[in-house]
Amino acid sequence: MSRRTQDTPGAYQTGRDDAERRLRFDRGTLLLEGVAELPAGLDTWFQYDPRVDAYRAPAHCYSAIIGPLKGRLAGNRAPRYQRRELVCALEMTPYPHQTEALAAWQAAHGRGVVALPTGAGKTLVGLLALAWARRDGLVLVPTLDLMHQWYALLRAAFPDQEIGLIGGGYHEPQPLTIATYDSAARHIERLGDRFGLLIFDEAHHLPSEFYRVIAEFSLAPYRLGLTATPERGDGRDADLPELIGPIVYRKRPEQLAGNVLAAFQVRTIHVDLSPAERTAYQQALDERNAFLQAQQISLSSLEGWNRFVMRSARSSEGRRAMLAHRAARRIAHATPAKLRALGMILANHPGAKTVIFTEDNATAYEVSQRFLIPCLTHQTAVKERQTIMELFKSSVYTAIVASNVLNEGVDVPDASIGVILSGSASVREFVQRLGRILRRGEGKQAVLYEVIARETREERVAERRREAGHGRPEAIPRLETAKEPDSQPSLWDDQS
């Protein structure tokens, strides 16, 4: 058992020669063994673990640690990844912004986040990064749809390489592997030394409590994050520089419109509730707000919403307040005035590929029944969903309606019209939905309509989203709307 010497702080007597000093990977950490005294400057990362008589450091610090340890190790058994010559078999000429993004990432020593709008070719930047890094690589994706897309792309780009899958019933790690965030988080303790490059697609998912271990337990020196909008509502995007690296390159949709992406417009349409709807809406708000005031809860933050959810389950008054909250949302989301506006939009764009977005399943189903439009929700079976998307691609269907499932990770072919009937205050959701219609086409002019019920929560939601965009000017397109909200008092006030 080792003991700390009294003369030299931080030094340990182990009875072993420093010539036996070795570094190895151990369950998501780095273990420095055979150490009599910790080399200068390494105490920032290493802490002594008396259980194994060695020093332990987080795996993600490997690139910072290995430099000071060079020439001091008898053996380095930490990484299992190999150098790998990758020559892309696809004949692709990168756009200037893709070349610039790769160069910015390379200048940051292969660590950082590239933020490009949907349709701007983030995956090609990932392929270029794989070829440049020349290391075994792991691509992380949030959905099975994206896993399948990356699998097809990597097989086409590197036909002489075995492509592994982790997730969706597969556990086949290979030198080039694609994994879902869920599966990777469960297995990273054993896989964290297998890869020299991590590519995080839709990288804004990574800082969550469950997924962040993928970055923390991996020693990969090269890391690339790909996303349209790195910002998160909980502020944890501030952890991305530590987990992946800083934002090294960013372009907004309007900066690429008309060249890489389709030219586009964003138009806001306001509709009014009927007198009966207005009365029911106000009554629902009054009942909910009375409970919030009695409980001293504000819904202006995620913490306040969580308190509302918890306390609403503890009493009959709370349950009525939650039901009232949902009733108000339904009234604003599915007012017949919105469906009339949707009918006008569809009539103004006959035959145009149109994607309609809703916040809830009930509204999506109502739109589907009213206009005889195929509907996609999380309840839609995989085969049915695939069939709908294929028929939409072939123009058998010219419109589809979706509840959240098309926000990210799905390639929506040829759509030029988007209609948001309901949504959240998230800048990311807005930009993702805009991205569904920005695929470039010959002479294509894309239009995104946002239909908002006047004097409801939706006005405040749209205002908060604009405020978030103004606070981060690169986060949301600065576009003229067809009509700015009228300066009428909001019924949602501070309890939005």
Please classify residue 83 by burial: count the beta carbons closer than 10 Å to its beta carbon, then call 0-12 exposed, 13-18 middle and 19+ buried.
exposed
CA distance to 210, 292, 318, 345, 426, per residue, from 309 (Å): 22, 11, 9, 37, 20
Mean pLDDT of 398-425: 72
pLDDT at 477 over 50: no
Residue bearing the bigger pLDDT, 421 or 216: 216
Confidence of residue 8 (pLDDT cuts 50, 70, 90): very low
Kindly state the average pLDDT of the residues 136-147. 93
What pLDDT score was predicted for residue 474? 37
Residue 355's nearest CA partner among 443, 421, 409 is 421
Minimum mean pLDDT among 72-76, 112-116, 260-264: which range?
Answer: 260-264
3-77 CATH choice from 3.40.50.620, 3.40.1170.30, 1.20.120.790, 3.30.470.30? 3.40.1170.30
Check pLDDT > 90 for residue 484: no
Burial of 296 (0-12, 13-18, 19+ CB in 10 A): exposed
What are the φ/ψ torsions at residue 249 (nearest 5 degrees)? -160, 140
Pick one of 2.60.130.10, 3.90.1150.10, 1.20.1260.10, 3.40.50.300 as the CATH number of 263-273+335-471. 3.40.50.300
Q: Once rounded to an integer, what is the mean pLDDT over residues 33-57?
A: 88
pLDDT tier at 423, thresholds 50, 70, 90: low
Per-residue pLDDT reduced to its tens digit, 81-124: 999 988 888 877 888 899 999 999 999 999 999 998 877 788 88
CB 116 within 8 A of CB 101: yes
Q: What is the CATH T-level fold of the domain 96-251, as seen in this structure?
A: Rossmann fold (3.40.50)
- Give yes or no on whether 96-251 and 263-273+335-471 have one common fold: yes
- Dist CA 73 CA 19 (whole Å): 7
What is the pLDDT of the chain when averaged over all its residues?
82
pLDDT at 3: 35
Give this prediction's pTM: 0.71
Task: Evaluate if residue 14 carries a pLDDT over 90.
Answer: no
3-state SS of 372-433 is CCCEECCCCCHHHHHHHHHHHHCCCCCEEEEECCCCCCCCCCCCCEEEECCCCCCHHHHHHH
Q: If we measure between CA atoms, which residue out of 428, 424, 62 comes closest to residue 222?
A: 62
Q: What is the mean pLDDT of residues 167-188?
A: 96
CA atoms within 13 A on the CB side of 48: 18
Picking from 247, 251, 299, the residue whose alpha carbon sits closest to that of residue 464 is 299
- Domain segments of the chain: what residues? 3-77, 96-251, 263-273+335-471, 275-332
